[in-house]
Structure 1
Amino acid sequence: MHHSSPPGNSDLSRRGLLGLAAAVPLLAAAGCAPGASDRGLRPDGALRVSSYITPGYDDLYPGLLAFNDALDQRLGAGVVDFFDSGSLLNAEQLVPGMLRGVTDVGIQTSSYVSTSFPILGAAELPFVNDGFEQLRRALAPESPLENLMNEHLRPQGIMNLGAMPCTLQWLFTVDRPVEKPEDLHGLRIRTAGHVEGQTIKALGGSPVSMSSGELYEALERGTIDGMVSYLGTVVSRGLEDVLGYAMQAHFGGYSVDAYANTRWYADTSPEVQEALLEAGRVYAEIGTEKQLEVYEESYLPGVEESGLEIIRYDEAQVDRFRDATAGVVDWWRSTVGDDELADRALSYVKEA
């Protein structure tokens, strides 16, 4: 049975874990504490999974549960020790904490990770292919792109077990629609990742970084003029009440991925490794399907029935935005630092 421990002493123990990881980096970096179980799990036989995702994400959370269920079915009920809602590690701490052994698996949005691991940005670029279904194929388990990413990530300490691509990121504004690139000039737009930030810069806007919890007030007060996000952020925060326009186009794309500590993974038993890979496949397939179902049956109809005006670009408009953001692809290639690697990754996204 998966759980987030109740408040009280459990919270103290979590802080103790974080303190231990910081105080004894060599032990934690080994990825597997002394006295580990015979399957290469933690001394108590647990496999620790952490995420900042909360149960409030009706579209994303079922994928996390499917991942945990798949592990428990393979390894035994109760093996997974699950910390959601940032209760062990918040979004910024998750990958560094996993590298120090605080958690074995971290489920994290790619926009938080691609700054440190730019290869992941291949699937976040704007207007690079025909949209969600193509991204879904590109990020499928054992796809050429997934294999290439892991080949690049493993030496850096993490590996991708499975990716759940989110529905595409749209552009939202408060006061006026954006029908051509020039309409974005001078607007302050909240972005969640560095690729999105470059996209807004390329279109003449000013990217602003803030947490999703601050968006409602910032939009209502005019601190920002709009945002780039997938539809789930709008619905979960009630932002359709303060936004005026939604530009339904491929302004970006990100995924919520299950990552493992590579060194820890190598130290576990073949049984655990096989279970993790199977759980990653279940997560990618069932999680993505559930997310799309919620989008199509709940999120999209709800927004269409709200006062938010949805603008869908024609082919000529898409071409103008693609041309205007072409420099973002060049910028991303420079962040990867290896043109051949970047071009291979991008080709896998475009040709999926």
Structure 2
Amino acid sequence: MSLKKTLLAGLALATVSAATAQAETTLKISHYLPAVHGLHKDFIKPWSEQITECTNGEVQFEIFPAGTQMGHVARQQEQVMAGVVDIAHGLHGIPRGRFPRTSLIDMPFLTDDAAAASYALWELFPEYLAEEYRGLKVLALHAHNGGLLHTNEKKVETMEDMAGLRIRTPSPAVSAMLSHLGADPQGLPPGEVYESLQKGVIDGTVFPWDPVKSFGLNEVLNYHLDLGAYTVSFFYVMNQRSFDKLSTEAQSCIDQYSGADLVAKFGDWWDGWDVPGRQDAMDAGHEITELSDEERAKWREALKPMMKEYLQSVKDAGVDNADEIYQAMQDKIAEFQAMKTE
């Protein structure tokens, strides 16, 4: 090959390589849980790897979990809206008041099943919830399994045992539930619960089993009441501008691994994530109690005024069809349960 042809071939190769390098995009993902949590290991990291593989390396990811500059639970929505990160996973209830429609799924005794709650959220998103996510591309909405009440010094078996207990709460609906049961709800990010329990600032917390394990809380807890009385919901969203800047092929890959198929995985994931937390409590000799049927009926009755008041507060916040959304959630959960038994 002549020197001229060699130079031209080299120039062409360099041009292609430069174009390829220029086409590569690194997206930032933030969430508020430790990197040891199943949500990071089983969901977000593998999801990002699927997109990278699907795009043949065009889209890369940098993940910021708890403990990093972008891993604060209260900042997930504002970071992704502002484009500080491209994708964020966060709690609907922190900060309060930003997702009143979606957070109706947190109402007590609606469901204790992550799969059912996640299904209901995704099914209702287009018609009832979408306006809460303007400027965002919603990749998934989901919820956790029924939460428990975990305490350090006092065993709780009845509603009377709740009186005056300072309990960490994750959302407005759960706060209202705790107040009506006689407790004193304390709003805290999950990462602050360990120290608050250790220092006696709070008496307990409500969580499913999985964060009890990932935040090491069994070290500062002794009693666990299996309530199955509430769930809490989460968002996994992308800045719409960040999505729009991607190539058509990359957008297609993100769509392929998001949405209904992704949402359908959370039930099995959460069942698996809950196991180590419970096992740790058992290994530590903690006392695990299940709320009796009689006591559960008593709690349901006591919480009826709270549920009515909470629905009214959502209407007062401008959601005129709060009753309709709440009923639709009940219907979708029942629909999911019926499909499971077929």
Give the TM bin, normalised by the shorter chain: 0.7 to 0.9
Q: Which residue of 2 aligns with 1:292?
A: 271
Identity over aligned pairs, percent: 21
Alignment of 1:117-156 (within 5 A): 117-129=99-111, 131-139=113-121, 143-154=122-133, 156=134
In 2, Cα distance between equivalents of 1:320 and 1:336? 25
Question: Does the 8 A contact of 2:144 with 2:231 survive in 1?
Answer: yes
Long gaps (5+) in structure 2: 1-18, 334-342
1:60-115 per-residue CA deviation (whole Å, 9 max, x = no partner) reads 53111132123223322261322222535232222112112222221222332663
In 1, Cα distance between equivalents of 2:290 and 2:246? 49
Q: Which residue of 1 aligns with 2:302?
A: 324
TM-aligned CA distance change 1:148 to 1:61, over 3 Å:
farther
Deviation at 1:226, TM superposition (A): 1.2
Alignment of 1:227 with 2:205, yes or no, is: yes
Alignment of 1:80 with 2:57, yes or no, is: no
Q: Which residue of 2 aligns with 1:15?
A: none
In 1, Cα distance between equivalents of 2:79 and 2:285? 42
Q: 1:244 aligns with which of 213, 219, 222?
A: 222
Question: Does the 8 A contact of 1:216 with 1:239 survive in 2?
Answer: yes
TM-aligned CA distance change 1:112 to 1:185, over 3 Å:
same
Query: Any idea what SS the aligned residue of 2:73 has?
Result: coil
Q: Which residue of 1 aligns with 2:85?
A: 103
In 1, Cα distance between equivalents of 2:47 and 2:310? 31
Q: Which residue of 2 aligns with 1:12?
A: none
TM-aligned CA distance change 1:61 to 1:168, over 3 Å:
farther
Matching residue's letter, 1:174 = N
Count of aligned positions: 307
Q: Which residue of 1 aligns with 2:337?
A: none
Q: Which residue of 2 aligns with 1:306?
A: 284
Matching residue's letter, 2:215 = R
Matching residue's letter, 2:91 = T
TM-score normalised per structure 1: 0.76
Alignment of 1:209-288 (within 5 A): 209-265=187-243, 268-281=246-259, 283-286=262-265, 288=267
Runs of 4+ residues deviating >6 angstroms: none
Q: Which residue of 2 aligns with 1:187?
A: 165
TM-aligned CA distance change 1:80 to 1:195, over 3 Å:
farther
1:99-143 per-residue CA deviation (whole Å, 9 max, x = no partner) reads 12222221222332663111121221221235444324324xxx4
TM-score normalised per structure 2: 0.78
In 2, Cα distance between equivalents of 1:327 and 1:160? 33
Alignment of 1:19-34 (within 5 A): none
Query: Any idea what SS the aligned residue of 2:98 has?
Result: coil
Deviation at 1:327, TM superposition (A): 3.5
Alignment of 1:197-212 (within 5 A): 197-212=175-190
The Cα RMSD (Å) is 2.8
Question: Does the 8 A contact of 2:166 with 2:186 survive in 1?
Answer: yes
1:254-309 per-residue CA deviation (whole Å, 9 max, x = no partner) reads 2343112245445655444432232224543345433322323x232332333221
Query: Any idea what SS the aligned residue of 2:280 has?
Result: helix
In 2, Cα distance between equivalents of 1:117 and 1:61? 27
In 2, Cα distance between equivalents of 1:226 and 1:181? 15
Long gaps (5+) in structure 1: 1-37
TM-aligned CA distance change 1:335 to 1:160, over 3 Å:
farther
